[in-house]
Amino acid sequence: MSTTTMPPTKAPKTEPKSAPKGALSDRAKGERRLGWMLAGPAFAVMLLVTAYPILQAFYESLFDYRLTDPDNREFTWFSNYAVILGDSIWWKALAVTLFITVVTVAVELVLGFALAMVMHKALKAVRPLVRTAILIPYAIITVVSAFSWWYAFNLTSGFVNTWTGLGDYDWFGHQWSALAVICLSEIWKTTPFISLLLLAGLAQVPEVLQEAAKVDGATWLQRLWKVTIPNMKAAIMVALLFRALDAFRIFDNIFIMTRGNNNTESVSFLAYRQTISRLEIGLGSALSVLVFLCVVLIAVIFIKGFKVDLASARGER
């Protein structure tokens, strides 16, 4: 797995070596046609379920349009965007979303790395047990996990206040504690994903380097910092990128635990509330487009700024 950027037009490295190249142009033409025939439907469906909706959302965002008053549909250019960007609700939701993203991803990276280390070193006997356990949060429905944490911190049913001796502290009645529980449920649910990626990264760190560093008298921490982490940079960056984008779209836990109350609304939740609950299609569409643009921006920052090369990290080896 290399981290250098690939030249864009090079033939992929891992081709089946069956067809001698060059001589058989008819065959190449045939492969091209067959390739698109086979991959075309999947490609078309992917465009249909994403490109089409986002264009439609953009179009609808230019109208002042409410389903509660469907006859008054008026083209108002970018006034919905102006309204949103001029409203503190949007900026508050953005701040909440970024806060959740940064906190959960940071904690998950540390925790996920620790989990991966344990799994990497775990004795053969316990490894399947650990692997199974770690997959359970990954596979459980987010809504179920959110309910579980919500009930745990709930004043009327939860054991947390009893265990911690906090008496009647209402976790969901205050912004910071509510956000803390939301982050906790998100961290529990998605850390396994990071640790599985990091575990795969750990497996690719050459054992020889570790041994050599050991012989040279490097401490455990030095080896971690100078050998292990640099050698799995690609895996770390991919995990970070995917989790950051995923966390930014947070919705389920917030819906279940607070319904956006007490300043815990994320940008996705705001867009949902405006469109589906309040039936304000124009404003809601503009919000959806803004959420999309934020996600694109985060991806671009990662790929350009941190030089995450997805082609080499995720694509061709």
The upper half-sphere exposure of residue 147, i.e. CA atoms within 13 Å in the direction of its Cβ, equals 5
Distance CA 115, CA 200 (A): 12
Write the interaction track for another protein spanning residues 91-130; mark x where CB under 8 A is met and - where it is not.
------------------------x--xx-xxx--x-xxx
45-64 residues near another protein, rule: CB under 8 A: 45-47, 49-50, 53-54, 56-57, 60
Shortest distance, CB of residue 175 to another protein, whole angstroms? 22
Q: Which of 240, 272, 308, 309 touches another protein (CB under 8 A)?
A: 272
Shortest distance, CB of residue 118 to another protein, whole angstroms? 4
Write the interaction track for another protein spanning residues 12-41; mark x where CB under 8 A is met and - where it is not.
x-xxxxxx-x------x--xx-xxx-xx-x
Question: Which residue stretch of 79-87, 172-180, 208-216, 234-242 sits at the interface with another protein (rule: CB under 8 A)?
Answer: 234-242
Q: Using CA atoms in the order 213, 309, 183, 267, what is the torsion angle rounded to 10 degrees?
A: 160
* By CB under 8 A, residue 144 contacts another protein: yes
Number of residues that bind another protein (CB under 8 A): 111
Shortest distance, CB of residue 227 to another protein, whole angstroms? 19
168-227 residues near another protein, rule: CB under 8 A: 188, 192-193, 196-197, 199-201
* By CB under 8 A, residue 43 contacts another protein: yes
Q: Are the C-beta atoms of residues 177 and 171 closer than 8 Å to each other?
A: yes
Non-local (6+) Cβ contacts of 262 within 8 A are 172, 173, 174, 175, 178
Q: Which long-range contacts (CB under 8 A, 24 or more apart) does 241-244 make?
A: 241/299, 241/302, 241/303, 241/308, 241/310, 242/193, 242/197, 243/104, 243/105, 243/108, 243/109, 243/190, 243/193, 243/194, 244/101, 244/105, 244/298, 244/302
Question: Which residue stretch of 74-82, 173-181, 211-219, 272-280 sits at the interface with another protein (rule: CB under 8 A)?
Answer: 272-280
End-to-end CA, the chain: 5
